[in-house]
Chains A and B, each alone.
Chain A
Amino acid sequence: MYNQTEILKDTSELGAEGELVINMGPQHPATHGVLHLVVTLNGETIKKIEPHLGYIHRSIEKMCESLTYRQFIYVTSRMDYLSSHINNLGCALLVEKGMQIEVPDRAKVIRVILSELTRIASHELWLGAMAMDLGAFTPFFYAFREREMITEIMEDTCGARLTMNYIVPGGLMYDLHPDFQKKVKAFVKQFKAKVTEYEDLVTNNIIFQSRTKGVGILSAEDAISFGCTGPVARASGVSCDIRKIYPYEVYDKVSFNEILDTAGDSFARYMVRVKEMNESIHIIEQLIDNIPDGDFVGKTKNVLKLPKGEFYTRVETARGEFGVFVVSEGGTTPHRIKFRSPGFSNLSALNHMAVGSKIGDLMATMGTLDLVIPDIDR
């Protein structure tokens, strides 16, 4: 048994005279999970941040190697649990690509609608959690009011609110709930009416702006060299939306904008996500009345076997690029599997972004990175 002061002794040799080393996490209100940051401080100023990972490592990649191509999809719901639908989609796309399975149009459209709903739900949760990191509690409840409608739609459609597990290779597990279109339209209407409340409460708030503008700046070059993707990179001006660059499903048939900002600070990342929610609503509006009739799942063999070779697919989750890499030996299970999770790369930029700023800025920066720890640790 050793107490906290002894743990600190291990790291204190890193710190010089006048430096304070504090362990933020694994239990800390702002790390949103079991992230452990060893922060070296000089007074209130941050000198160094060292993320320690592994507190929620479940070796998902190794687990997947003993699961069949139908089964391994559902383990990925437990990685980035806020974009579980999109993770599932990425894995299903890989199997479909490897085995050249035809997916019916109906399934494709439904997958995209649900992906966008997932993205909105994730961004809503991020908005609330981010405001809470900055000390404002109320936006959390406003964001969850809209998010609740999405989780209800998900519950009707998939039977689950968080880990959807709705996608099978070749299509969907079962058909839509009869109320689906009605409920999604009600949500779109409500969201459009209520999104101005976020503007009033958060975006236009002078304290919020002064807390986030010019904080945690990440240049486009750094964003690329750290491998940042998603809203974090787009706020620095890096065009990296997989939905635009390598369109999958029906993303090439709908019109939407890739939101880019050049400031690269926390406020830019905030604005990119808020605008992305509106773009997602725009995509849903185009598709919700045009769900084609037909089968919801294509014809597949009972036992799926990927041909021998290496396969990679990528999808755009709420956090950035999610990649699946599978090495197949031709069997029913993957020989080797590797997930490229967006959170891991985004976290690696944290030290670069936060050094030299205050502890309060660390929260503003970490909040806009939108870290989901099970996604980083896997």
Chain B
Amino acid sequence: MYSLEGITKSIQDWLFLKFDPTLALAIECVIVILLAISLFAILGLVLVLMERKVAAHIQIRLGPNRVGPGGMFQTVADTLKLIMKEGLTPDNADKFLFNLAPFVVMMVGMLLLAPIAFAKNFQIWDINIGVLYISSVSSLSVIGILMAGWASNNKYSLLGAMRSGAQIVSYELSAGFAVLTIVVFTGSLQISEIVASQQTGWWLFKGHIPALISFVLYIIAVTAETNRAPFDLAEAESELTAGFHTEYSGMRFALFFLAEYINIFIVCAIGATLFLGGWMPLHIGQWESFNHIMDYIPSSVWFMGKTFFLIFLIMWFRWTFPRLRVDQLLNLEWKYLLPISLFNLLLATVIAIFGWHF
């Protein structure tokens, strides 16, 4: 199996050979930060273009097709425009919080990148409480959104922020319970162990009905958590113009925009890791030759393929469904999703205790 493992390992060996351990670690940190930032930039460009192309094909039109071949450099041009634009701060805004908010939202995305396994042995930080870390850090993004809505001194922003607060806090529960189902099956919170446990088959197939239910719940909950349609009440442009980021312009708006796509990538990457085997190739029972061929596909391709499939799913939702109303949104969570996920967790626990899963 091809892997990025060799490259990372040789770099690490070389660094520790040349420098003393502390300095080597510091250099590694810098490399990782640079890599993370460039990943962010690339993801932003790719995902925005992907969203526009997916939307275009769903809406019987072509999408961006002027800048570069097939409109490839459209997002580059858009980014340049946003960088050149003046970032206005409203007169009566709380200037400190107003300027801080986009960075808080962005920082949460960066922190969440740490425990994700991009390929075999290609992971920034294999923390032993990986899943717990992800659930707790991802809740922080609501602070940034509330900050933006409050500091803007705009009534639309405030309404958007309050909606977003109610929404993210509620849907965090379902997402958490869906993730817990897999933790119950695996018996570990560590991302690398969760991936390793799917050597023989992905949890989506191995975990019987509870895994299937929790996968659906997870997709619904994270769509809501990332403020995507049909749960995009926080920005609901027909109701609240642009919701919490109404007053933002230029690069600060771009950071919110980018953070949205980074968050989608991260929740989809986590979904792919937990339910679809992360970087594990698809193996079917006793089909030796099939499994062997699958092994030849690099693990990073598997990981990205699964993640982008989930991203496509979430984009597909956005361009198909109308938006829910705020009370319907909360009803859906507290009256349907939460009881189902609690019951589902119980079921999963019973299955795990008796070892009924494959």
A interface list, Cβ under 8 A from B: 3, 5, 20, 22, 28-30, 44, 131-138, 140-142, 145, 201-202, 205, 207-208, 210-211, 358-363
Asked whether, in the complex, the Cβ of A207 is within 8 Å of the Cβ of B321, the reply is yes
The number of inter-chain residue pairs (CB within 8 angstroms) is 86
Asked whether, in the complex, the Cβ of B320 is within 8 Å of the Cβ of A138, the reply is yes
Flag B145-171 by CB within 8 Å of A: 1 or 0 each: 000000000011001000100000000
Q: Is B324 an interface residue (CB 8 A)?
A: yes
Asked whether, in the complex, the Cβ of A22 is within 8 Å of the Cβ of B322, the reply is no
Q: Is B289 an interface residue (CB 8 A)?
A: no
Asked whether, in the complex, the Cβ of B238 is within 8 Å of the Cβ of A134, the reply is yes
Q: Is B17 an interface residue (CB 8 A)?
A: no
Q: Tell me which residues across on chain A come within 8 A of B232, comparing CB atoms.
A: 135
Among candidates B55, B323, B326, residue contacting A134 with C-beta atoms closer than 8 Å: B323
Q: How far is the CA of A211 from the CA of B238 in the complex (A)?
A: 14
Q: Is B319 an interface residue (CB 8 A)?
A: yes
Task: Determine, out of B32-40, B58-66, B74-82, B272-280, the stretch whose residues face the partner at the interface.
Answer: B58-66
In addition to A211-B328, A360-B236, 16 A-B residue pairs with Cβ atoms within 8 Å of each other are A20-B155, A28-B241, A29-B237, A29-B238, A30-B239, A44-B163, A135-B322, A136-B323, A138-B59, A141-B59, A145-B60, A205-B321, A207-B322, A360-B233, A360-B326, A361-B325
The residue in chain A whose Cβ has the minimal distance to the Cβ of B229 is: A135
Residue in B60, B232, B322, B326 whose Cβ sees the most chain A Cβ within 10 Å: B322
Asked whether, in the complex, the Cβ of A142 is within 8 Å of the Cβ of B55, the reply is no
A-B contact pairs, 10 of them (CB 8 A): A22-B155, A30-B238, A131-B322, A132-B238, A134-B238, A135-B236, A136-B320, A136-B322, A359-B239, A360-B239
Q: How far is the CA of A145 from the CA of B60 in the complex (A)?
A: 9
Chain A contact surface mostly: helix
Q: Is B91 an interface residue (CB 8 A)?
A: yes
Given contact pairs A137-B59, A141-B59, A141-B60, A207 touches B324 in the complex (Cβ within 8 A): yes
Q: Tell me which residues across on chain B come within 8 A of A145, comparing CB atoms.
A: 60
Asked whether, in the complex, the Cβ of B323 is within 8 Å of the Cβ of A360, the reply is yes
Asked whether, in the complex, the Cβ of B325 is within 8 Å of the Cβ of A211, the reply is yes
Residue in B60, B325, B328 whose Cβ sees the most chain A Cβ within 10 Å: B325
Number of chain B residues close to chain A: CB under 8 A: 31
Given contact pairs A5-B92, A145-B60, A136 touches B159 in the complex (Cβ within 8 A): no
Asked whether, in the complex, the Cβ of A137 is within 8 Å of the Cβ of B55, the reply is yes
Q: What distance in Å separates the Cβ of A370 from its nearest Cβ neighbour in chain B?
A: 15
Q: How far is the CA of A262 from the CA of B324 in the complex (A)?
A: 25
Q: How far is the CA of A360 from the CA of B324 in the complex (A)?
A: 8
Flag B289-316 by CB within 8 Å of A: 1 or 0 each: 0000000000000000000000000000
The 7 closest A-B pairs by CB, nearest first: A135-B323, A360-B325, A134-B322, A136-B322, A141-B59, A30-B238, A133-B238
Among candidates A20, A142, A362, residue contacting B60 with C-beta atoms closer than 8 Å: A142
Residue in A131, A134, A138, A360 whose Cβ sees the most chain B Cβ within 10 Å: A360
B interface list, Cβ under 8 A from A: 55, 58-61, 91-92, 155-156, 159, 163, 229-230, 232-233, 236-241, 319-328
Q: What distance in Å separates the Cβ of B3 from its nearest Cβ neighbour in chain A?
A: 40
The residue in chain A whose Cβ has the minimal distance to the Cβ of B61 is: A141
The residue in chain B whose Cβ has the minimal distance to the Cβ of A137 is: B319
Given contact pairs A5-B92, A135-B230, A44 touches B328 in the complex (Cβ within 8 A): no
Q: Tell me which residues across on chain A come within 8 A of B156, comparing CB atoms.
A: 22
Q: How far is the CA of A131 from the CA of B239 in the complex (A)?
A: 13
Q: Tell me which residues across on chain B come within 8 A of A20, comparing CB atoms.
A: 155, 159
Asked whether, in the complex, the Cβ of B238 is within 8 Å of the Cβ of A210, the reply is no
Asked whether, in the complex, the Cβ of A136 is within 8 Å of the Cβ of B238, the reply is no
Q: What distance in Å separates the Cβ of A78 from its nearest Cβ neighbour in chain B?
A: 26
Q: How far is the CA of A359 from the CA of B328 in the complex (A)?
A: 13
Given contact pairs A137-B59, A142-B60, A211 touches B326 in the complex (Cβ within 8 A): no
Q: How far is the CA of A358 from the CA of B327 in the complex (A)?
A: 8
Q: Tell me which residues across on chain A come within 8 A of B323, comparing CB atoms.
A: 134-136, 207, 211, 360
Q: How far is the CA of A20 from the CA of B156 in the complex (A)?
A: 11
The residue in chain B whose Cβ has the minimal distance to the Cβ of A357 is: B325
Q: How far is the CA of A145 from the CA of B233 in the complex (A)?
A: 28
Q: How far is the CA of A211 from the CA of B92 in the complex (A)?
A: 36
The residue in chain A whose Cβ has the minimal distance to the Cβ of B58 is: A138
Q: Tell me which residues across on chain A come within 8 A of B321, comparing CB atoms.
A: 135-136, 205, 207
Asked whether, in the complex, the Cβ of B325 is within 8 Å of the Cβ of A358, the reply is yes
Q: Tell me which residues across on chain A come within 8 A of B229, comparing CB atoms.
A: 135-136
The residue in chain A whose Cβ has the minimal distance to the Cβ of B324 is: A207
Q: What distance in Å separates the Cβ of B141 from its nearest Cβ neighbour in chain A?
A: 21
Q: Tell me which residues across on chain B come within 8 A of A359, comparing CB atoms.
A: 159, 239-240, 326
Q: Tell me which residues across on chain B come within 8 A of A140, comparing CB atoms.
A: 59
The residue in chain A whose Cβ has the minimal distance to the Cβ of B319 is: A138
Q: How far is the CA of A358 from the CA of B163 in the complex (A)?
A: 12
Residue in B159, B229, B239 whose Cβ sees the most chain A Cβ within 10 Å: B239
Given contact pairs A44-B326, A137-B55, A358-B326, A207 touches B230 in the complex (Cβ within 8 A): yes
Q: Tell me which residues across on chain B come within 8 A of A137, comparing CB atoms.
A: 55, 59, 319
Asked whether, in the complex, the Cβ of A44 is within 8 Å of the Cβ of B159, the reply is yes
Q: What distance in Å separates the Cβ of B305 from its nearest Cβ neighbour in chain A?
A: 26
Q: What distance in Å separates the Cβ of A153 from its nearest Cβ neighbour in chain B?
A: 20
Q: Tell me which residues across on chain B come within 8 A of A205, comparing CB atoms.
A: 321-322
Q: Tell me which residues across on chain A come within 8 A of B59, comparing CB atoms.
A: 137-138, 140-142
The residue in chain B whose Cβ has the minimal distance to the Cβ of A39 is: B155
Q: How far is the CA of A134 from the CA of B328 in the complex (A)?
A: 13
Q: What distance in Å separates the Cβ of A360 from its nearest Cβ neighbour in chain B?
A: 4
The residue in chain B whose Cβ has the minimal distance to the Cβ of A45 is: B327
Q: What distance in Å separates the Cβ of B59 from its nearest Cβ neighbour in chain A?
A: 4
Q: How far is the CA of A22 from the CA of B241 in the complex (A)?
A: 12
Among candidates A201, A207, A363, residue contacting B239 with C-beta atoms closer than 8 Å: A363
Q: How far is the CA of A134 from the CA of B237 in the complex (A)?
A: 10
The residue in chain A whose Cβ has the minimal distance to the Cβ of B237 is: A29
Residue in A44, A202, A211, A358 whose Cβ sees the most chain B Cβ within 10 Å: A44
The residue in chain A whose Cβ has the minimal distance to the Cβ of B318 is: A137
Q: Tell me which residues across on chain A come within 8 A of B322, comparing CB atoms.
A: 131, 134-136, 202, 205, 207-208, 211
Given contact pairs A135-B229, A136-B320, A207-B322, A363 touches B61 in the complex (Cβ within 8 A): no
